[in-house]
Amino acid sequence: MKILITGAAGFIGSHTAERFVKEGHEVVGLDNFNTYYDIELKRLNAKDLIAVGVEIIEVDLREEESYKPLPKDFDVIIHFAAQPGISSSCTFEEYLTNNIIATEKLIKFAHQNKELKQFVNIGTSSIYGLEATFPEGIAPMPASNYGVTKLAAEQLVLAESRSKRLNACSLRLYSVYGPRERPEKLYTKLIACAFNKEAFPLFNGSEKHLRSFTYVGDIVDGVLEVVKNYEIVNGEIINLGTEVEHTTKDGINFVEELLGEKIEMNVIDKRPGDQWRTNANIDKAKRLLNYNPTTGLKEGLEKQIAWYKEKFL
């Protein structure tokens, strides 16, 4: 199949693009290479993708002109591109335009692909709110601009399925980590602080937060199964993540154990909208996709540390 992946030079998108190439598919990746974090990190990801045969096109999904030169013969669109996280440095307008407006324009482009079998929206557990422990049918209660706008984007996509205009579904991902994790995220930042002998900025109380820390490879396995089973997942919202919970402190302890050193902590003010608990309810994913994440947190962190050493030391 010919697959379009938006946000392909990012963390999870790049792993997904590589996997689909490995499975024998043709992959085109889109990314806007914005300045939310160091563009050179995305360039490194893009270089790895180009090496395995992924075509990378730099576009801004919010601009209609961006779509005109794109081919119109895709079988599947997987939409990772978004303004991520709950950073206070991001304006509401950035969340609005990148998460809602861009999705609406991508849907219009999807309709131009007459043989399109599936549109996969990548959502987030932040849609549920401060506690994300629920099955997919629960009423969402997002507590951040990120969660609110990702919910809106999800509903734009699912409206297409309800109206029978597109075969579409949405995946809500849980606390993904692993190689290529963004530099401001927990584990990449923690590992970087350890190697650079810097204090880690720990949000006050966050060491007690519970998370379904899910290895990126287990997420990609789920996305692959969604595409293979596109007919039965049409119209569905599906949680992807691990059922195993760890506190943030557990994760810090694992990194310190694997590196053989203590990391200094600099406690800073709490972050508004930060979830206090995520625990993926994956009953639907198990039933529809036989989904079974297998990578433990310590094992995944070993791989992330090895990646960091290879790329940055």
Q: Residue 90 and residue 86: Cα distance in Å, rounded?
A: 8
Q: Is residue 151 within 8 Å of residue 237, measured between CB atoms?
A: no
For the chain, state the CA radius of gyration. 19
Q: Is residue 19 within 8 Å of residue 189, measured between CB atoms?
A: no
Give the count of beta carbons closer than 10 Å to the beta carbon of residue 152. 17
Q: Residue 58 and residue 245: Cα distance in Å, rounded?
A: 37
Give the count of beta carbons closer than 10 Å to the beta carbon of residue 50. 12
Q: Which residue in the block uniquely carries the two structure tokens 């880690």?
A: 200
Tokens of 79: 């939409």
CB neighbour list of residue 278: distance below 8 Å, 6 or more residues apart: 125, 131, 132, 133, 174, 175, 210, 211, 212, 241
Round to the nearest angstrom and report the end-to-end CA distance of the chain.
Answer: 38
3-class secondary-structure state, position 1: coil
36, 128, 146, 215: the active-site residue: 146
Tokens of 303: 């791989």
Q: Residue 194 and residue 84: Cα distance in Å, rounded?
A: 25
Please state the φ and ψ torsions of residue 300, each to the nearest 5 degrees.
Answer: -65, -40
Q: Residue 233 and residue 117: Cα distance in Å, rounded?
A: 12
Integer CA distances (angstroms), 140 to 88, 106, 163, 238, 249, in order: 22, 24, 22, 14, 27
Write down how long the chain is.
313
Assess whether 146 carries a catalytic annotation: yes
Active site residues: 146
